[in-house]
Each structure stands twice: as structure tokens, then as C-alpha cells.
């Protein structure tokens, strides 16, 4: 019996390691957090009233791809916060590994770009790892359900980083619009080129 328990524990240990590496998949329930916003206030998903879900964007100050998308992230918030899907942005990067991503610089960026969404720091990459964000920008659309915040879309904002394609697929917009209609997003998972996360030194070794 003791052996069986040990075996179970070992197996579960492996499973949790695996889950940590891969992060969330579609249908998983996403963890809430309590992280510091650029206005010095702590923000959790539960703080938002009357929401139907959230557009969680893992991003940063310094990545050229993230910067190319800043205005589009702002537009997503303007478009969907009134409909119940606010944008919540989380900076993935360690401020020592990437000085341009310090809390001060985040505040500066949010001010100069007039972000209307929360822009949170994630010390020690706790939620970056938990969600499984592996690059910036990396979006997780969550849908509020009776069970919790269910991951309904993972991936890129659209398929047109340089805004050169008139036939752009606005992945996040499409996914949220479908969720608002009570449908499941047709495209739930996409990929795009992004910047690697600037991990804290000892964590990467």
C-alpha cells in the first residue's frame, strides 16, 4: 500500500512538472492572480465587475512585436471592455534581465501610450509560467463559466504583424465575438513569431 501511495505521488509529481512546462490548454480553468498594476494598485480578475471573461495579454515594453501590437491591444480593450471582455496585460520579463521592463518603465510606457487597460508586473514569472506564456505577445482569452475562468483561445492577436494584409484574420476579435454570441471560437489556437521571455537569471539555469 505504502508503495502504491509512493508510486502515485511520483506519477503525480511528474504530471505537475509536465503541466508546469506546457501551461494551459483550451478548456483548462485559469488561475486568478493578484498583481501590481502600473497605478500601484493590486489587480485580480475578480476585481472586475460584470465581466463575461477576460483578454489576458502576456507582453512587455521591449519586444518589437509587442510594441507593434500596443495600439491593437488598446483597441481590443476599447472594443471589448464595454462588452464584458476587458484586456488585462501582464509583463512577462524580469527587470534585471531586461532593464527596459522595470516597473518604472512600465509606468512610463502605459502613460505615454495612454493604456486604458491594467498593465501588471509578474515578479518571478509566476503567472507567465502557470499560464504557459512562452513569448510576447501571447494572448489567453478566458470565458467566465460556472466552473471558473475557462481558457477559450490561446495565441496571437492576428496574423498580420506588420499590418500589410487587408485580408487579416483578427483572431482575438473573432474569438471574443463568437464567445459573446454564445459560440465556441472556431479558431482556438494560433501561433506567431514573438520575443522569448527574459527569464530571471537563476530560474533559467
Chain residues that interact with other proteins, rule: CB under 8 A = 63-64, 68, 134-135, 156, 159, 161-162, 164-165, 190-198
Q: At closest approach, how far in Å is the CB of 41 from other proteins?
A: 31
If the CB atoms of residues 50 and 162 are measured against other proteins, the closer one turns out to be 162
All residues at 6 or more sequence positions from 76 whose CB lies less than 8 Å from its CB, including other chains: 55, 87, 157, 172, 173, 176
Q: Report the residue number, 106 or 195, with the smaller CB distance to other proteins.
A: 195
CB of 65 to other proteins, least distance (A): 8
Nearer to other proteins, 112 or 166 (CB): 166
Measure the CA–CA gap between 24 and 31, rounded to whole angstroms: 10
Q: What is the DSSP letter of 139?
A: E
Q: How far is the CB of 78 from other proteins (least distance, A)?
A: 25
Q: How far is the CB of 28 from other proteins (least distance, A)?
A: 17
Nearer residue to other proteins within complex by CB, 7 or 17: 17
Amino acid at each position: 500500500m505504502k508503495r502504491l501511495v509512493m508510486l502515485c505521488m511520483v506519477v503525480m509529481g511528474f504530471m505537475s512538472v509536465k503541466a508546469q512546462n506546457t501551461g494551459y490548454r483550451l478548456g483548462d480553468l485559469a488561475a486568478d492572480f493578484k498583481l501590481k498594476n502600473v497605478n500601484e494598485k493590486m489587480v485580480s480578475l475578480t476585481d472586475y465587475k460584470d465581466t463575461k471573461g477576460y483578454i489576458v495579454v502576456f507582453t512587455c515594453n521591449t519586444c518589437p512585436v509587442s510594441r507593434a501590437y500596443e495600439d491593437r491591444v488598446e483597441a481590443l480593450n476599447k472594443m471589448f471592455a464595454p462588452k464584458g471582455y476587458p484586456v488585462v496585460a501582464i509583463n512577462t520579463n524580469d527587470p534585471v534581465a531586461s532593464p527596459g521592463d522595470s516597473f518604472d518603465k512600465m509606468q512610463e510606457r502605459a502613460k505615454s501610450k495612454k493604456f486604458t487597460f491594467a498593465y501588471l508586473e509578474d515578479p518571478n514569472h509566476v503567472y507567465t509560467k502557470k499560464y504557459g506564456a512562452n513569448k510576447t505577445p501571447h494572448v489567453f482569452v478566458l470565458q467566465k463559466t460556472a466552473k471558473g475562468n475557462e481558457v477559450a483561445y490561446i495565441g496571437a492577436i492576428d496574423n498580420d504583424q506588420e499590418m500589410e494584409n487587408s485580408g487579416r484574420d483578427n483572431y482575438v476579435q473573432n474569438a471574443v465575438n463568437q464567445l459573446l454570441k454564445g459560440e465556441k471560437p472556431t479558431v482556438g489556437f494560433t501561433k506567431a513569431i514573438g520575443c522569448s521571455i527574459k527569464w530571471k537569471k537563476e530560474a533559467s539555469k
